[in-house]
């Protein structure tokens, strides 16, 4: 059985059970279900999940507000969040990413796709011991360790979401190398991930904001993509 704990926040009982059934079938037996925003916040603090599946259309506190609060709480700031939404418009996806979600699935979704997304995220969150020993890097004022998922600027810790950390690590590994938006998505999310260029730009705006006075470490190459500034 998988050791990871997954919190499922979904108010439709049929979808709850569908998700739990498929997770259990794949060996994930540490699954907690809740059906409201209030319960999600309480369970996130008590259950300490490794990953959260979060429906945006919830009674009480809506999913976007839940996501904002989770990202403001040091205990859950780095926990990967996959949005589950009945909406698939670009504006809805971008809004979710802006408040800190790492991934999204539009309903109705394939259970196989859901499981694949979950496993992909968890593989990146839990690298092997060999990977941990070779994933530290230093680029000027920036230091990162993918094994411990710690990042700092001038010794001051950065509070990054799962996706923000992965994107920054990808760019910082190869200073000066230009990555297209599609390359960034494929490297961080996996091949054929259905995300828009606007959604990638949102992640970059957030990263630059968190880098503060060093936001210029991420450079835009007009008409192509992004790169980490060469020393």
Residue of 17 and 200 predicted with greater confidence: 17
- Per the listing, tokens 């990953």 go with 51
Whether the pLDDT of residue 172 is over 60: the answer is yes
Nearest C-alpha neighbor of 221 from the set 186, 176, 165: 176
pLDDT tens for 105-121 read 888 888 998 998 888 78
Burial zone of 196 (CB within 10 Å; 0-12 exposed, 13-18 middle, 19+ buried): middle
For the chain, the first-to-last Cα distance in angstroms comes to: 45
Most confident of 64-73, 145-154, 181-190: 64-73
Whether the pLDDT of residue 1 is over 80: the answer is no
Q: In this predicted structure, what is the pLDDT of residue 190?
A: 58
Place 144 in a pLDDT band, splitting at 50, 70 and 90: very high
CB within 8 Å of 106: residues ≥ 6 apart: 85, 86, 87, 88
Q: In this predicted structure, what is the pLDDT of residue 223?
A: 84
Percent of the chain residues topping a pLDDT of 90: 47
Mean pLDDT is lowest, of 74-88, 153-167, 188-202, for: 188-202
In angstroms, rounded to a whole number, what is the distance separating the alpha carbons of residues 218 and 131?
A: 25
Contact 183, 111 (CB under 8 A): no
Nearest C-alpha neighbor of 140 from the set 154, 160, 157: 154
For residues 65-80, give the mean pLDDT.
89
Helix or strand (DSSP H, E) at 54: strand 51-55
The pTM (predicted TM-score) of the whole model is 0.69
For residues 76-105, give the mean pLDDT.
80
Helix then strand then coil, in percent of the chain rounded to 5, is 45, 20, 35
pLDDT tens for 15-30 read 999 999 999 999 999 9
Q: In this predicted structure, what is the pLDDT of residue 129?
A: 44
Percent of the chain residues topping a pLDDT of 70: 89
In angstroms, rounded to a whole number, what is the distance separating the alpha carbons of residues 191 and 2?
A: 24
Assigned token pair, 65: 């507000």
Contact 147, 139 (CB under 8 A): no
Contact 217, 142 (CB under 8 A): yes
Q: In this predicted structure, what is the pLDDT of residue 89?
A: 66
Whether the pLDDT of residue 192 is over 70: the answer is no
pLDDT averaged over the chain? 85
């Amino acid at each position: 059985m998988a050791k990871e704990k997954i919190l499922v926040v979904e108010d439709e009982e049929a979808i709850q059970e569908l998700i739990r059934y498929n997770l259990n079938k794949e060996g994930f037996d540490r699954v907690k279900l809740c059906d409201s925003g209030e319960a999600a916040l309480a369970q996130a603090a008590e259950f300490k999940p490794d990953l959260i599946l979060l429906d945006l259309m919830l009674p009480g506190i809506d999913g976007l507000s839940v996501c904002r609060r989770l990202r403001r709480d040091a205990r859950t700031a780095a926990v990967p969040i996959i949005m589950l939404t009945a909406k698939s418009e670009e504006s809805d996806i971008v809004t979710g990413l802006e408040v800190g979600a790492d991934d999204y699935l539009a309903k109705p979704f394939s259970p196989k796709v859901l499981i694949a997304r979950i496993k992909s995220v968890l593989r990146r969150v839990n690298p092997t011991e060999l990977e941990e020993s070779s994933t530290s890097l230093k680029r000027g004022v920036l230091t990162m360790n993918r094994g411990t998922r710690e990042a700092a600027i001038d010794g001051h810790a950065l509070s990054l979401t799962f996706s923000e950390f992965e994107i920054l690590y990808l760019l910082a590994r190869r200073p000066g190398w230009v990555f297209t938006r599609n390359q960034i998505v494929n490297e961080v999310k996996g091949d054929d991930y259905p995300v828009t260029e606007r959604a990638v730009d949102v992640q970059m705006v957030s990263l630059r904001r968190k880098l503060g006075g060093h936001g210029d470490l991420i450079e835009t190459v007009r008409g192509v993509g992004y790169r980490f500034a060469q020393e």
